[in-house]
């Protein structure tokens, strides 16, 4: 059974709010003068993403998603604002694509007779091993 490849979802840039700010950490004068870090905000509920993707994205337990349903990504890895902007958009698209495909529904199955027997044999073997660890009693 061959499944069709689903093209990756791409978040439109006009639905994303990007603001530049000064980066934190070491970097000397460049960090103090240049606003090279990027703060990306993406409102999930108001976006054009499919409804199923929105639900799965909002149900993620991710610290980047606020209680209001806004994805916040801060990119400050690079020295240039353009690279940080591209990095933030790439990370947002990766997050959206991680929930793009709905998970397969798991069907409960019954364990086979052989697997049950192996499990019980292992349990009794472990029980025998632990029984030997008890206090030693003198037989006289």
Can you give the CATH number for the domain in which 28 is found?
3.30.160.20
**pLDDT over 70 at 5, yes or no:** no
pLDDT in tens, 23-78: 887 777 777 777 888 999 998 888 888 888 888 888 888 888 888 888 999 998 88
Whether 73 is covered by a domain: the verdict is yes
Whether 31 is covered by a domain: the verdict is yes
Tokens for 10?
A: 């791409």
Whether 24 is covered by a domain: the verdict is yes
Could you give the CA distance from residue 79 to residue 125 in angstroms, rounded to a whole number?
A: 61
Q: How far, CA to CA in Å, does 8 sit from each of 12, 32, 90, 95, 99?
A: 13, 38, 12, 11, 11
Tell me how many domains the chain contains.
Answer: 1
Whether 77 is covered by a domain: the verdict is yes
How many whole angstroms from its chain centre is CA 89?
16
Q: How confident is the model at residue 110, as a pLDDT?
A: 95
Three-class SS state of 90: helix
Overall pTM surpassing 0.85 (yes/no): no
pLDDT band at 3 (very low <50, low <70, confident <90, very high): low
Least confident segment among 26-40, 68-82, 83-97, 114-128: 26-40
Domain that holds residue 68: 13-98
Tokens for 139?
A: 């037989």
Whether 121 is covered by a domain: the verdict is no
């Amino acid at each position: 059974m061959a499944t069709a490849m689903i093209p990756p979802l791409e978040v439109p840039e006009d639905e994303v709010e990007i603001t530049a700010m000064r980066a934190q950490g070491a970097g000397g004068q460049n960090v103090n003068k240049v606003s090279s870090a990027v703060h990306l905000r993406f409102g999930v509920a108001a976006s054009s993403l499919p409804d199923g993707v929105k639900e799965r994205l909002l149900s993620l337990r991710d610290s980047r998603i606020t209680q209001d349903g806004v994805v916040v990504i801060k990119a400050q890895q690079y020295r240039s604002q353009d690279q940080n902007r591209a990095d933030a958009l790439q990370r947002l698209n990766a997050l959206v694509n991680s929930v793009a495909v709905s998970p397969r529904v798991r069907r409960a199955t019954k364990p086979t007779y052989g697997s049950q027997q192996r499990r019980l044999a292992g349990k009794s073997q472990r029980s025998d091993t632990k029984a030997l660890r008890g206090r030693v009693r003198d037989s006289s």
